[in-house]
Amino acid sequence: MPEALLSTHGLNAHYGDFQALFGVDINIHAGEVIAIIGANGAGKTTLMRSITGLLANRPDMVTYRNTPIGALRADQVARTGIAMVPEGRQLFQSLSVEENLIIGGQIGRKGPWELENVFRLFPILKERRAVPSTALSGGQQQMVAIGRALMSNPELILFDEISLGLAPIIIKSIYEVLPDIIGEGMSAVIVEQDIAKALSVADRVYCMQEGRISLEGRSDELTREQISAAYFGV
């Protein structure tokens, strides 16, 4: 196995007195797609917040290209090439669709993703570029959130609860474009409660339970029973 692009090393995370992560170790290699699955409250979002710098950690708990980034602020982490599509889309409501996309690209990393390519990926957004982001449907908002993350030309993109609250048909179409996006040589982490969807796109899977990694393996090698056991702890 080559050197990991991003690793966590015994990552502990706290909200005040409450400890949400206990010694989490994960590795993501260049070009790899990882799924992180687990029930509500298993610590998936906390893990994402720790990686992106929204939660501060000890510097060496998160390393990216062998550089400790655990203690960097989120804006500094973003500049290293990590982008996130946050849970619940989280678009800027005062900004138009186009402005939301532009602000995603404003750190100025060079690469294939720019406004025109995002519009080619999601043509509906070009039509609706001038409307406030709040005027879009949930699925369209998810497209903006994905486009906004792509605009920074990341090397690693994190999708947090990508299908939460969306209609099945929208989820299907979003999963259809995922390979196109990740095909550009990007690495990706997909946080998902829908196990089948996660397994269909990921090379490897981590299952989380109560703040710990309860199972890890290649998507094509894990059995349904193993995953259920790790997911529910039964």
Partner 1 sequence: MEWINAIVQGVLLGGLYALFAAGLSLIFGVMRLVNIAHGDFIVLAAFLALSTTTALGVNPLLTLVIVVPVMAVIGYVLQRGVLNQTLGDDILPPLLVTFGLSVIIQNGLLEIYSADPQKMNAGAIETASLALPGNLNVGVLPLVMFGVSVAVIAGLQWVFYRSALGRAFRAVSDKQDIAQLMGLNKAHVFGLAMALSLAVVGIAGVFLGIRTSFDPSIGPGRLIFGFEAVIIGGLGNLWGTMIGGIILGVSQNIGAQINPGWQLLAGHIAFLIVLAVKPRGLFPRID
Nearer to partner 1, 42 or 83 (CB): 83
Number of residues lying near partner 1 (CB under 8 A): 24
Q: Does 124 bind partner 1 (CB under 8 A)?
A: no
According to CB under 8 A, which one of 104, 139, 147, 211 is a site residue for partner 1? Answer: 104
In the complex, least distance from residue 99 CB atom to partner 1, rounded to whole angstroms: 6
Closest CA relative to residue 136, chosen from 194, 96, 196: 96
The residue (of 136 and 222) whose beta carbon lies closer to partner 1 is 136
Q: Which of 71, 22, 57 lies closest to 42 in space, CA to CA?
A: 22
Cα Rg for the chain, rounded, in angstroms?
Answer: 17
164 binds partner 1 (CB under 8 A): no
Among 58, 73, 120, 224, binds partner 1 (CB under 8 A): 73
Cα-based angle 131, 45, 162 (whole degrees, multiple of 5): 45
Pick from 30, 56, 71, 107 the residue near partner 1 by CB under 8 A. 107
The beta-carbon contacts of 101-106 under 8 Å, at least 24 apart in sequence, are 101/125, 101/144, 101/147, 101/148, 101/151, 102/151, 103/148, 104/147, 104/148, 104/149, 104/150, 104/151, 104/152, 105/151, 105/152, 105/153
Burial of 51 (0-12, 13-18, 19+ CB in 10 A): buried
The one-character DSSP state at 35 is: E
Q: Judged by CB under 8 A, does residue 99 bind partner 1? A: yes
| Residue 83 binds partner 1, judged by CB under 8 A | yes
Q: Does 148 bind partner 1 (CB under 8 A)?
A: yes
Closest separation in Å from C-beta 168 to partner 1: 26
**By the rule CB under 8 A, 79 interacts with partner 1:** yes
Residue 102 lies near partner 1 (rule: CB under 8 A): yes
Residue 39 or 95 having the CB closest to partner 1: 95
Q: Are 142 and 162 in contact (CB under 8 A)?
A: yes
Site stretch for partner 1 (CB under 8 A), options 16-24, 73-81, 162-170, 172-180: 73-81
CB atoms within 10 A of CB 29: 16
Binding residues for partner 1 (CB under 8 A): 52-54, 73-75, 78-79, 83-84, 86, 90, 92-95, 99, 102-104, 106-107, 148, 152
